Structure 1
Amino acid sequence: MAKMLEVNDLHVNFSTYGGTVKAVRGIGFDLHEGETLAIVGESGCGKSVTANAIMQLIPDPPGKIAGGTITFNGRELTAVREKDMRSIRGVDISMIFQDPMTALNPTLTIGSQLTEGLKEHYQTSTAEAKTKALEMMQLVGIPNPEERFRQYPHQFSGGMRQRMVIAIALICEPELLIADEPTTALDVTIQAQILELFERIQASTGVAIILITHDLGVVAKIADRIIVMYAGKMVEEGTRDEIFYESEHPYTKGLLKSVPRLDNQTQLIPIDGTPPDLFAPPKGCPFTARCPMAMVVCDNVYPPSSHLSDTHSVDCWLQDERAERLMAQTADKT
């Protein structure tokens, strides 16, 4: 599959009265056509900021892309003018925002919001736009689309509103869909339906998906690759099987231990402590203060990236051969 998106050494800062928040600190990844990439991590780790940076939606001020490149189909997005970026958003790259109720305008009908993109970008006639909209409503599983087309967001359930937000994002047939916490406010049953909907849409349209979530359990079924973020850094990256069955970073292991499983009754183990202050990020590994395996070097020097396979990498000093000897010596003494 061809590479469509490449993010390289991305830095995003926010200037505040209290100082500069370093929200994203040198992350890099790529995405291929038709692929589903999940970015996971707890609140405040930089997931949504990364998505907004790709869409060039970082408000300046106070935000600023302080370094790095974002290349989409050979085009450097950080150098694109806002006027030109508007022709990319919704057409080539679309985004599903976190809260479907606030993403939809309560004063406009569902139909007018669904057809707006077609009229804006393609100058489609009202009749043609409605026909396309009804087809899209059927694709995302909205019953009685003719009737629903004339209704307002408050007449839809939470799950139905989420489906409509997805339909609006897909109406112009983008190559890349960014879904930011698309199932957070939904119950488990509706979550499963939305994830199955993503699978069906991808199979029928071939759209590539970046799925942002704080819950590894949400991406267990549909993600091809997973990136784990912590305190603005990418701490581990790998295929779905590598992250779930061969994870190496203590933070990733901690996330997995906090996810309930159906195949056993193991007690859930929370990760103690809190993330570091990104006004003054630590010099070393940001997970040091919460890591049960932390060493002196972890607090002072950020670990190099260790490539465990062609697709699996981890930023952790435990992968260093010197750490292996140290752990062995400690085990012998005990």
Structure 2
Amino acid sequence: MEKILEIKDLHVSFQTYGGKVQAVRGVHLDVHKGETLAIVGESGCGKSVTANSIMKLIPSPPGTIERGSITFKGRDITRLSDKEVRAIRGVDISMIFQDPMTALNPTLTIGTQLTEGIKQHQRLSQAEAKKKATEMLNLVGIPSPEERLKQYPHQFSGGMRQRIVIAMALICEPELLIADEPTTALDVTIQAQILKLFDRIQQETGVSIILITHDLGVVAKIADRIAVMYAGKIIEVGTRREIFYQAQHPYTQGLLHSVPRLDQKTDKLVPIDGTPPDLFAPPEGCPFTARCPLAMEVCGKVYPFHADLSHTHAVECWLQDERAKQHLAT
């Protein structure tokens, strides 16, 4: 399958009064044409920083992309000028931000905000841009689109605003859509509608999607592949079935055990004890060592090797070493 995006050894840090926060530490990822890749992990693990790096939206200062490459269709985004990146943003790569109310300008009509980008990038007339905006509102399921174009963000519900933000992201027909926690503030009914909308849009347009979330229920519905992130690193990646049924990293297993399941009878959920490591001074070994019930002495001293379990499933964990497997078997 054709790769549309490839991230290699990405390091992103933020300089603060307390020191340097190493938010992303050597991320390797790729996204294929027409697929949905979900990046999951608890708050603060580096998911949104990785997404903003793809769009080159890391504020500098205090943020810095220290090293690594983000290759989109053969071009390394980290080496492009601001002008070159602006030509890509919204046209080839679009992003849906976490809170639709803050993503929309409360003083401008929905029509103005929808047509602004397409008029700039595609040089359309006002009438052509309005027609395109109407089509996009239809696509995302907003009734009476021509009337709705004249209204302001406060006149829409949370679910409707989220649909408008999705329409804004898709109006220039991007090849890659980054959705950063797109269903976090919505109730479960609206969440289901938004996820169904993503699935339909992908089938109709062929857009590739990076879905950033901490909600494994969302992931189970629409993700083709899943990357599990912890303390700024991708610690496991695989297809949806591999992650949900054959997870190998103790952190991934812990995430799955802490989610309620309808197919199992349990009296209580099993939480992951402890807290994530301090990224001002991240550990040299596996960052999950202090919380891992299966941790060995080597785990805290040396970062684990990259183990390919199949052509789609990979994990970074010392438990995949043959010596550890033999020890656990006895």
Paired residue for 1:184? Answer: 184
1:194: how far off?
Answer: 0.5
1:34: how far off?
Answer: 0.5
1:325: how far off?
Answer: 2.5
Paired residue for 1:81? Answer: 81
1:326: how far off?
Answer: 2.4
Give the distance between the partners of 2:321 and 2:198, measured in 1 at CA: 39
How does the TM-score come out when normalised to structure 1? 0.97
Q: One-letter code of the match for 2:287?
A: P
Secondary structure of the residue aligned to 2:222 is: coil
Secondary structure of the residue aligned to 1:48 is: helix
Paired residue for 1:287? Answer: 288
Residue ranges of structure 2 left out of the alignment (5+ in a row): none
Please state if 1:251 is matched with 2:247. Answer: no
Give the distance between the partners of 1:28 and 1:198, measured in 2 at CA: 25
User: Which aligned pairs between 1:162-311 and structure 2 lie closer than 5 A?
Assistant: 162-266=162-266, 267-311=268-312
Give CA-to-partner distance per residue, 1:27-77, whole Å, 9 cap, x none. Answer: 111111101100000000000000000000011110000010000000111
Give the distance between the partners of 2:52 and 2:32, measured in 1 at CA: 19
Secondary structure of the residue aligned to 1:220 is: helix
Q: One-letter code of the match for 1:318?
A: L
Secondary structure of the residue aligned to 1:27 is: strand
Q: Which moved more, 1:37-46 or 1:260-269?
A: 260-269
Q: Which moved more, 1:200-209 or 1:316-325?
A: 316-325
Please state if 1:316 is matched with 2:314. Answer: no
C-alpha RMSD over aligned residues: 0.8
1:265: how far off?
Answer: 3.0
Q: One-letter code of the match for 2:10?
A: L
Give the distance between the partners of 2:86 and 2:98, measured in 1 at CA: 21
Paired residue for 1:332? Answer: none
User: Which aligned pairs between 1:111-150 and structure 2 lie closer than 5 A?
Assistant: 111-150=111-150
How does the TM-score come out when normalised to structure 2? 0.98
User: Which aligned pairs between 1:28-107 and structure 2 lie closer than 5 A?
Assistant: 28-107=28-107
Please state if 1:19 is matched with 2:19. Answer: yes
Give the distance between the partners of 1:268 and 1:124, measured in 2 at CA: 54
Q: Once superposed, which parts of structure 1, at least 4 consecutive aligned residues long, lie more than 3 Å away? A: none
Please state if 1:3 is matched with 2:3. Answer: yes
Q: Which moved more, 1:315-324 or 1:64-73?
A: 315-324
Paired residue for 2:329? Answer: 328
1:321: how far off?
Answer: 1.3
1:327: how far off?
Answer: 2.2
